[in-house]
Amino acid sequence: MYSKIVVIEPSFILRKGIIHLLNENFPEIKIDEKTNHSVVSLISSEDNNDVLYLISIRIYVRNKQLLERWKDRMVFLTYKNMDIPYINYLKTSEEEFVSTINLALGIQSNESKDDDEILTESERNVLRQIALGRSNKEIAKQLFVSIHTVTTHRKNITRKLDIKSVSGLTVYAILHKLVAMDEIQS
């Protein structure tokens, strides 16, 4: 479990907005902020195993070779959809933001799920394919089912997990070991 979140974003307005949302929704977690100075030394320090990083994709790409090994403790801040854990700051609602952070922190939803709300094997297979960045058509072909079946499974997955974004589903799949980080396309 993470006890601290560090927001690494050069844009003052984005950084402050994200910090505001984090403080409002996660008051028990310490929030820190950085622009982009000495990011590599900050993340690579020995005393950061309980830190989750919300990092600008631009900073990550510039320092990718140095930061790659800590990728599993990062949620990327970007303006476009990606196949890795991310928050699209142009399209993500507050609910999706909180859901993505909850998943990254390993926090379960406040309402406990009944046993009948656990994903079926077929739904887990579809979720794995979603996390791998495949379209409904590609998933149907891969799993030898109809596109209608894939669509139904997707609806059931989002209802059961209460996660509506592909990024949130991807984070869920990673945290529940349905897919490994290195399998996901970047």
Q: pLDDT class for 23, splitting at 50, 70, 90?
A: very high
Which residues neighbour 129 within 8 Å (Cβ) at sequence distance 6 or greater? 138, 139, 142, 143
pLDDT higher than 80, residue 86 = no
What is the Cα–Cα distance from 147 to 145, expressed in whole angstroms? 7
**pLDDT (mean) for 134-139:** 95
Q: pLDDT tens digits, residue range 148-181? A: 999 999 998 998 888 889 988 988 888 888 988 8
Burial class of residue 106 (count of CB atoms within 10 Å of its CB; 0-12, 13-18, 19+): exposed
Q: For residue 139, what pLDDT is reported?
A: 95
- How wide is the angle at C-alpha 123 spanned by C-alphas 88 and 96, nearest 5°? 20
Is the pLDDT score of 103 beyond 60?
yes
Lowest model confidence (mean pLDDT) among 12-26, 47-61, 106-120, 144-158: 106-120
- Averaged confidence pLDDT in the chain: 82
